[in-house]
Amino acid sequence: MQIQGIDERRLASERMGGHFVVFVYTDGGASQTPGAETWAVDSLLITDAAMPEVLHWLTENLPTDCCWSLGLVLSPATPSTETDVDVAWIVGSDVLNMSPADRSPEQQRIAEEMMTRRGQVSLL
């Protein structure tokens, strides 16, 4: 991570909101493979929202004992449920949908952090 100061006059444009993707992972039941975890995932698109609104929505709507990922939609400029989207993950990533054996060490760390957040949805 790098942190650098910036002259506010460098801001060419600003907008108050953005478009976000939320993956909400819940226990998907028993796995056919011993020791493997299974998850059900709800993928949601939140459009034209400011980050505080998104965090408030998460606080109010996430189910108990879930894992979740939050991403900022980079493109297209106006996403819909019918468009492909490029996402920059803010919290977590789509690692719970892959086999633990296929995860890189970084992906495994993210998955473990997501599991740690289960039931801890105190965002405010």
Stretch 95-111: mean pLDDT = 81
Q: Taking the C-alpha atoms of 40, 45, 46 and 48 in order, what is their torsion angle to the nearest 10 degrees?
A: 170
Q: Is 70 exposed, middle or buried (0-12, 13-18, 19+ CB in 10 A)?
A: buried
Element at 83 (helix H, strand E):
none
pLDDT at site 16: 77
Q: How far apart are the first and last CA of the chain?
A: 24
Q: Would you list the domain boundaries of the chain?
A: 16-29+36-116
Give this prediction's pTM. 0.70
pLDDT at site 82: 92
Q: What are phi and psi of 35, to 5 degrees?
A: 85, -10
pLDDT at site 69: 85
